[in-house]
């Protein structure tokens, strides 16, 4: 029987859960959790997404994510595949680590959004020593929301949720903590727990959130890139053995991946004379380029805003 298609929308936010196969814990030690968080940060920055909440448990992960128009399946495939490669290499194993596809539900209203955040943050309640002290669990974003620690990993966007609890940050943190604690006894948590195993909603959350249009046409973007960078991008794309050209190729590949939604195979066809592994390396170089070179970073931001 074919599996059901995942419910998606380019404007949607998602509650995502990934679980390990029954015989293996997803995280064997804190070092593994730290590495997973580093990957989460990497891909949320690479694909310009927002992470609102997360909790890393021994055999599963909860993430509340706003992909900002990026494909959620692509995001999770990159994240999970990178972690599996690390895990298998470290522990000398082969094969699957995650239990099938990740589960996801669309977050379609403010009530569910707040309830979901409390559900994720209360996950550590069953861990030894954390019952009633869930905000002190290092591998959850709860401590950041409750003001117990700073977001040293640079992963979480707290403003979206805390804004519901007031303008003053400290007051909002106190109110949020009281809200999260109150939700533990409501029974709603069980409903959220059940819902993550079902794609139960087809609604799209409509709000004032901004998202990035991810279906742009490459030719249109290349024309704008030429104007913004002051160079003939098409000619540079076809040039070889030229440092300036290599930057343009990397930047273009990254743009096509993140804003046009192209697969590596499609980028291969567009740029030409490259393998898919080569395109993968190019997109990574393009990502590094916008982080390190203000000229390309400003160009990228202009291309996003033009959407």
Domain that holds residue 222: 218-305
Cα gap 289→298, rounded to integer Å: 11
Q: Which of 56-70, 172-186, 197-211, 250-264 has the highest mean pLDDT?
A: 56-70
Could you tell me if 141 and 257 lie in one domain? no
> Is residue 64 scored above 90 in pLDDT?
yes
Cα gap 120→300, rounded to integer Å: 33
Could you tell me if 115 and 35 lie in one domain? yes
Give the domain CATH number at 267. Answer: 1.10.1750.10
Q: Does some domain include residue 291?
A: yes
Q: Which of 58-67, 217-226, 266-275, 282-291 has the highest mean pLDDT?
A: 58-67
Q: What is the DSSP letter of 5?
A: P
Cα gap 152→275, rounded to integer Å: 37
Could you tell me if 145 and 183 lie in one domain? yes
Give the domain CATH number at 147. Answer: 3.30.70.1290
Yes or no: say if 294 and 278 are a contact pair by the CB < 8 Å rule. Answer: no
Strand order across the beta sheet in which 103-107 lies: 50-56, 60-66, 13-19, 103-107
Could you tell me if 247 and 123 lie in one domain? no
Structurally, the chain folds into a number of domains equal to: 2
CA angle (165, 171, 175) in 5-degree steps:
50
Q: Which residue has the higher pLDDT, 240 or 54?
A: 54
What pLDDT digit, counting tens, does each position of 196-240 carry? 544 322 322 334 445 566 667 778 887 888 887 777 776 666 665
Give pLDDT, residue 7. Answer: 52
Query: Which of 139, 164, 195 is at the close of a domain?
Result: 195
Cα gap 97→81, rounded to integer Å: 9
Could you tell me if 26 and 156 lie in one domain? yes
Q: Does some domain include residue 106?
A: yes
Q: Does some domain include residue 2?
A: no
> Is residue 286 scored above 90 in pLDDT?
no
Q: Does some domain include residue 224?
A: yes
Could you tell me if 132 and 172 lie in one domain? yes
Residues pairing with 63 in the sheet: 16, 54
Query: Which of 161, 195, 229 is at the close of a domain?
Result: 195
Give pLDDT, residue 194. Answer: 61
Cα gap 223→50, rounded to integer Å: 28
Average pLDDT of the chain? 83
Cα gap 22→59, rounded to integer Å: 8
């Amino acid at each position: 029987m074919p599996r059901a298609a995942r419910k998606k929308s380019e404007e949607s936010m998602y509650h995502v859960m990934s679980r390990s196969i029954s015989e293996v814990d997803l995280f064997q030690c804190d070092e593994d959790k730290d590495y997973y968080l580093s990957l989460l940060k990497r891909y949320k920055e690479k694909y310009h997404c927002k992470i609102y909440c997360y909790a890393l448990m021994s055999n599963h992960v909860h993430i509340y994510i706003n992909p900002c128009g990026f494909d959620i399946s692509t995001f999770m495939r990159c994240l999970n595949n990178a972690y599996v490669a690390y895990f298998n290499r470290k522990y000398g194993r082969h094969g699957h680590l995650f239990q099938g596809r990740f589960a996801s539900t669309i977050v379609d209203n403010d009530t569910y959004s707040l309830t979901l955040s409390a559900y994720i943050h209360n996950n550590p309640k069953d861990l030894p020593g954390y019952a009633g002290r869930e905000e002190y669990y290092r591998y959850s974003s709860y401590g950041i929301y409750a003001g117990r620690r700073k977001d040293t990993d640079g992963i979480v966007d707290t403003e979206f949720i805390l804004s519901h609890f007031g303008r003053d940050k400290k007051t909002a943190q106190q109110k949020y903590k009281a809200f999260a604690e109150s939700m533990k006894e409501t029974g709603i948590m069980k409903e959220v727990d059940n819902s993550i195993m079902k794609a139960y909603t087809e609604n799209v959350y409509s709000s004032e959130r901004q998202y990035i249009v991810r279906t742009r046409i490459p030719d249109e973007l290349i024309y704008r890139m030429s104007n913004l960078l002051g160079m003939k991008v098409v000619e540079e794309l076809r040039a070889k053995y030229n440092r300036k050209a290599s930057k343009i190729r990397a930047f273009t590949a990254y743009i096509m991946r993140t804003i046009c939604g192209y697969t590596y195979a499609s980028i291969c066809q567009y740029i030409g004379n490259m393998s898919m592994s080569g395109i993968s390396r190019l997109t990574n170089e393009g990502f590094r380029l916008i982080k390190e070179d203000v000229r390309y970073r400003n160009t990228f931001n202009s291309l996003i805003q033009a959407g």
